[in-house]
Homo-oligomer: A and B are copies of this chain.
Amino acid sequence: MPASTQLRSKNRKTTIYDLARISGTSPSTVSAVMNGSWRERRIRESTALNIKQVAAKHGYTPNLQARGLRKARSGMVGMIIPVHDNRFFASLGQSFENHARERDLCPVIASTLRDPVEEIRIVKTLISYAVEFLFIAGATNPDALSELCGAANLPHVFVDLPGKHAPSVTTNNYLGAELLTRKISAPNKARKNSSIKTKTYFLGGNASDHATAQRIAAFTAVISENGDKFEADQIISCGYSPDKAATAIKILCDRIGSLPSGLLLNSLTVFEGVMSHFVHLPAEAFEHSTIGCYDYDPFATFLKFPVHMVRQNSDEMIARAYELIERKVTDPLVIEVQAELIPPRTIHKGRYRELG
């Protein structure tokens, strides 16, 4: 076939120049029509309509990289989370995305697997893609990330784990843990004068991480205010992995000869590990024990023994984070969102009701 009638390469996508040529107009007119600014450019309705039809017919899609390059804003917004495969972070991600779409932004969610090196690499990548702002959830090294963002002039807010150099939205860990500890230690008071041991334990997490530290503070405060003596061995920070938790609970049970009267599990993964030990215990073992978990899984509220859970309000956290961004807040203030206590719904205990 002669060069003059050669078809455009099957692989090259239609551009505004093609559309301009085909519709007998100019690239800038097409541009205005395609990006919706044609009314204020006073382009005739008929022209716009025609161009739109041509565009549809040729399956035109705008090149957002080119647009982003030119406008120096990409239309993308970023969020980093430790993992997708976790109820809490998945909810945060879902909320982030819903809010982004309401604003016609393209959400990009990346997971860091809690690796500080990867975390930095990912933030650099997002900066390179010119995301317009960044939410940072569960950062391992908030300050380093703030520095990166600062250099790139990138507005950012911390979620869940706070940072010192940008605004943060966190759960009110202290209050949540306080309420939870009351639930699991309250029954102890009742049998204060009985022969039953009344010691309550906190299991899981790293005492050095901010959220855990706050929860431990609340835990010890509640224990102490009962007049009970608080001992250091009541805190067992064995990390978050199910395996570590399984080992830790086994050792504890062996040592004290029974389940503790109260047990606060610091995450679902910890709970999962603990369950793999519980499976070996007889039903009676749970009679004088109350379990609480800081985090929520619907099925965990339906176990044989009552479990008090805390559900974080991920949607409100994200809503607040957007507010901070939109108000252009950059001071390192911390907004605390309240978590919700979910009562046990243990089956075979009569009607569905709050046991706590």
* A339 → chain B closest CB, angstroms: 17
Asked whether A63 lies within 8 Å of B130 as measured between CB atoms, the reply is: yes
Contact of A85 among B94, B129, B153, B283 (CB under 8 A): B94
* A63 → chain B closest CB, angstroms: 7
Q: A residues 174-204 with Cβ under 8 Å of B?
A: none
How far, in angstroms, from A300 to B61 measured CA to CA in the complex? 46
Please tell me if A144 contacts chain B, counting CB pairs below 8 Å.
Answer: no
Asked whether A124 lies within 8 Å of B61 as measured between CB atoms, the reply is: yes
How far, in angstroms, from A276 to B351 measured CA to CA in the complex? 10
Please tell me if A74 contacts chain B, counting CB pairs below 8 Å.
Answer: yes
Please tell me if A329 contacts chain B, counting CB pairs below 8 Å.
Answer: no
Asked whether A299 lies within 8 Å of B303 as measured between CB atoms, the reply is: yes
**Which listed segment binds B: A41-49, A102-110, A161-169?**
A102-110
A80-118 Cβ-contact flags toward B at 8 Å (1 or 0)? 000111110011011001000100001111110000001
Asked whether A65 lies within 8 Å of B297 as measured between CB atoms, the reply is: no
Residue of A91, A151, A302 with most partner-chain B CB within 10 A: A302
With a CB–CB cut-off of 8 A, which chain B residues contact A304?
A: 303-304, 347-348
How far, in angstroms, from A111 to B76 measured CA to CA in the complex? 15
Can you name the residue of chain B whose Cβ is closest to the Cβ of A352? B279
Given the known interface contacts A300-B299, A304-B304, the answer about A280 and B63 at a Cβ–Cβ threshold of 8 Å is no
Can you name the residue of chain B whose Cβ is closest to the Cβ of A298? B272
How far, in angstroms, from A153 to B13 measured CA to CA in the complex? 8
How far, in angstroms, from A346 to B304 measured CA to CA in the complex? 9
Please tell me if A59 contacts chain B, counting CB pairs below 8 Å.
Answer: yes
With a CB–CB cut-off of 8 A, which chain B residues contact A61?
A: 124, 127-128, 152
Given the known interface contacts A69-B65, A106-B129, A348-B283, the answer about A11 and B90 at a Cβ–Cβ threshold of 8 Å is no
Q: A residues 229-245 with Cβ under 8 Å of B?
A: none
How far, in angstroms, from A130 to B61 measured CA to CA in the complex? 10
A10-25 Cβ-contact flags toward B at 8 Å (1 or 0)? 1101000000000000
A28-69 Cβ-contact flags toward B at 8 Å (1 or 0)? 000000000000000000000000000000010111111011
How far, in angstroms, from A282 to B130 measured CA to CA in the complex? 58
Residues in chain A within 8 A of chain B (CB atoms): 10-11, 13, 59, 61-66, 68-69, 74, 76, 83-87, 90-91, 93-94, 97, 101, 106-111, 118, 124-125, 127-130, 151-153, 271-272, 275-276, 278-283, 297-300, 302-304, 345-348, 351-352
Pull 25 A–B residue pairs with CB atoms less than 8 Å apart, ordered by A.
A10-B153, A11-B153, A61-B152, A63-B130, A64-B125, A64-B129, A65-B65, A65-B68, A85-B87, A85-B90, A85-B93, A94-B111, A106-B110, A275-B298, A278-B302, A279-B346, A279-B347, A281-B348, A282-B348, A283-B348, A297-B297, A299-B303, A303-B303, A304-B304, A304-B348
A sample of 6 more A-B contacts (CB under 8 A), given A84-B94, A279-B351, is: A62-B128, A106-B125, A106-B129, A276-B352, A278-B302, A304-B304
